[in-house]
Structures are given as structure tokens and as C-alpha cells.
Amino acid sequence: MDSIDNTIIDKLSKDSRTHCTEIASELGVATSTVHKRVNQMYSEGVIEQFTVILDPKKTGMPLTTFIGINVDENYKAEIVTKLKSLKNVLEVYEILQPYDIFVKVRTSDMSELKDSVLRVLDNTDGVISSSSIITTIRHKEKTCILGDQ
């Protein structure tokens, strides 16, 4: 990756609707160069997907919760697969201490959190314990840290 790729990523991460012609004009390169670079980064997995960041309150999903989960190692892969399949689970990580798995969940309220994710954890073999951290205010949420941001 070079400065052209970084600039392309920077522009797209700020507004994924930015047209390749606009990026090309700013870079002083052909539009086809930007198209080629975007397609190459996409095919190589540098760009995994094009997405938007939603306002949780305006979409009726204001409750963001992080859940740390301790699991029996023999069940870890199965638990990760189950968590990834839940619609309210946004992110799933395997981590080092104090938990084995850490997830980011977004729900409409505490009742939905309990019914959608916590109940699944309570009824899943291999879950030893879990602890929820409920957020109160979102100050920043980004999807990219590469480029000039």
C-alpha cells in the first residue's frame, strides 16, 4: 500500500459514497487508476466491505453493551460461531484476560439485550460466566484508522 491507496481509503472511510472521479481529481490520477486500486484492495481483503455508521438512537437501537465471556476452551469455536450468528452482535473478539471472548452488542433496550443475547449465553454449553458493560454516551465510533484521519 502506498500514499495513493491511503488517500483512497481515507476518502472512502469519511464518506463511502465518494465517487472515484472525485478521488482521482484530488489525487491527480486517472479515474481508472482509482477504480483499479479500490477493486484490488477489495479483492485482497484490505477493504472488507463498504458500510455506513448509523446513529443508534435514530435507528431505535440506543443501547450499546460490551460483554466479556469466559468459556470452556473445548466449546470456544462453537460459542464464537453462535455469537456471530446473532443479529444484535456487531463484533466478536477472542482476547487475553480477563475474559476469553469480548462482544459488542446493540439493542433497543435492556429487555431486548436480555432476550436476544444474555438468554442465549445462559443456555449455551461451555459458557462459564459473563459480565456486561453498558455504555451511556457514545463519543466516537470509527471504522477505519488508516490514512490521514
Q: What domains are there in the chain, each with its CATH number? A: 3-43 (1.10.10.10), 63-134 (3.30.70.920)
| Three-state SS sequence of 94-116 | ECCCCCCEEEEEEECCHHHHHHH
Confidence (pTM)? 0.83
Taking only the tens place, the pLDDT of each residue in 6-42 is: 999 999 988 989 999 999 999 999 999 999 999 999 9
Amino acid at 148: D
Exposed / middle / buried, residue 136 (Cβ in 10 Å: 0-12, 13-18, 19+) = exposed
What are the phi and psi torsion angles at 131 (to 5°)? -140, 130
What are the C-alpha distances in Å from 69 to residues 111, 124, 127?
20, 12, 7
Confidence of residue 149 (pLDDT cuts 50, 70, 90): very low
Taking only the tens place, the pLDDT of each residue in 86-111 is: 999 999 999 999 999 999 999 999 99
What are the C-alpha distances in Å from 22 to residues 10, 18, 36, 67, 97?
13, 7, 15, 41, 45
